Amino acid sequence: MAVTLVKVVDPAGAKNEFATPVAGTRFVAVQFRLKNTGTAVYKDSPGNGARVVDAQGQQFDTAFYPSNAGASFPGSITVAPGDTGLGFLTFEVPKASKITKV
């Protein structure tokens, strides 16, 4: 898989009233393009292993809540060889954190 960072939305709004960040945190939404450059079908969760890192080196995993930044990746996707997938992953990070790496 070739993974390309397309867009970062910081802060990202909540998709609905049930998907709101915990007090003192915010959502950061990152859009990725996944291109299957191999010969086998990719079937997995794009959120596995995805992290954002702040200026202090703290790492944050994906949140289970969608943001309103755009279409989110579902829990699992299937991408045939030569095809692409596009979607957002949402991360919940402290309001004071400055994200420096994805």
CB 99 within 8 A of CB 8: yes
CB 27 within 8 A of CB 11: yes
- pLDDT, tens digit only, all 102 positions of the chain: 999 999 999 999 988 888 889 899 999 999 999 999 999 999 999 998 899 999 999 999 999 888 999 999 988 999 999 999 999 999 999 999 999 999
Model pTM score: 0.92
CA 25-31-34 angle, to 5 degrees, is: 135
Tokens of 92: 């919940």
Tell me the C-alpha distance between 28 and 91, whole Å: 5
